[in-house]
Amino acid sequence: MDSRYYPAKNVFIDSIEIDDYIALESSIVSYKQLQHSIEKPLKMILVFGRPGTGKSILLNYLYENFKYQKDIHYFATPTTNEKEFFHKIFKVITKKDLPSNTQVNFSTLVDYCRDIQGKREIIVLLDEAQMYSSEMMERIRLLADSRSIKFVIALHKTDKEEDIIAKEHFQSRIWEVIELKNGTIDDIQNYVHKKLLKKNLFEIANNIKSYHIGLIYKFTKGNYRETNKMLFTIFEIYEYYDLNDKNKIDINKFSKKIIEMSAIKLGFINV
Ligand SMILES: Nc1ncnc2c1ncn2[C@@H]1O[C@H](COP(=O)(O)OP(=O)(O)OP(=O)(O)O)[C@@H](O)[C@H]1O
Ligand SMILES: [Mg+2]
């Protein structure tokens, strides 16, 4: 028989599915900001933040909410292959497929964009944009200059790329930056509880008190991906004891020790 902790563990598998979206205080703020930005006559909008702060899920949520109302497109994993990328852009703009053996003529594409200016407003959501080359970004900027395509660019911030927004393609004045940050302790508390409650895991959710959240927060600093990893590992440990050595766990009380075991396993605590 499966352990009661098995479904709890699976709640914390990373997911950017819209059904798993939770309207947290900080996510609502970023979403409203983004929604407001796409209504403005901007050419580029930058969604910026460290890995695991919720950029992809935010872009997905926006896409799902507007896909029937707007000419909006989500590009998930970037193809670093320029040819393939412009084939995809070509399809979005012209609504036609180009035979795979042909090359998109970039200046024709720009002309096409100029032609549809004022007639259509296309929104392209580019996730993981740190993977695009500078040349591709430069071309994306040129397409954005035509004003018929608005790009929402999600970039992850790393220590060595702090200066990325200083790069040439982001120098144009008409862009806006939405910065996503790690969650606050309240966000994390809501996040953990709501995720479990969504799957009807009431007892488990009730056993996780503010004190436990405080401890988890100390290790993950409010990063959602790190929080997922930590909760997944906690319930994996619980599952193990539940199946193999039930006496070692108390189903009515969440264990500080198991939080710490998970932190050791994930390298948050060095022994
Ligand atoms: N508002 C939210 N509702 C539900 N889950 C969320 C939310 N924000 C973040 N998450 C969770 O955190 C994980 C990390 O979020 P996401 O993948 O969107 O981060 P990211 O900023 O795109 O990271 P990267 O820079 O590595 O691509 C998601 O898989 C999801 O499980
Ligand atoms: Mg992402």
260 lines ligand 1 (CB under 6 A): no
Percent of the chain with pLDDT over 70: 93
Tokens of 237: 């440990």
* Higher pLDDT among residues 209 and 94, named by residue: 209
Report the nearest-CA residue for atom 9 of ligand 1.
54
pLDDT band (50, 70, 90) for residue 167: low
Name the nearest CA neighbour of 51 among 220, 173, 165: 220
* Res 215 pLDDT > 80: yes
Of 25, 56, 75, 178, which is best to mutate to test ligand 1, by the most ligand atoms within 8 angstroms of its C-beta? 56
Q: For residue 164, name the pLDDT band (cuts at 50, 70, 90).
A: low
Q: What is the CATH number of domain 25-180?
A: 3.40.50.300
Q: For ligand 1, say whether the CB of 53 is within 6 Å of any of its atoms.
A: yes
pLDDT score at 170: 65
pLDDT band, residue 249 (cuts 50/70/90): very high
Q: Which ligand does the CA of 11 lie closest to?
A: 1
Q: Which ligand 1 atom minimizes the distance to the CA of 195?
A: 4
For residue 101, what pLDDT is reported? 82
- Is the pLDDT assigned to residue 217 strictly greater than 80? yes
Q: Which atom of ligand 1 is nearest to the CA of 53?
A: 21
pLDDT, one tens digit per residue, over 27-42 is 999 999 999 999 998 8
15 lines ligand 1 (CB under 6 A): yes
Instruction: Indicate whether residue 225 lines ligand 1 (CB < 6 A).
Output: yes
Q: Residue with the nearest Cα to atom 27 of ligand 1?
A: 51
Higher pLDDT, 219 or 87: 219
| Averaged pLDDT of the chain | 91
Q: 102-161 pLDDT, tens per residue? A: 888 889 889 999 899 889 999 999 999 988 888 888 899 899 988 899 999 999 877 665
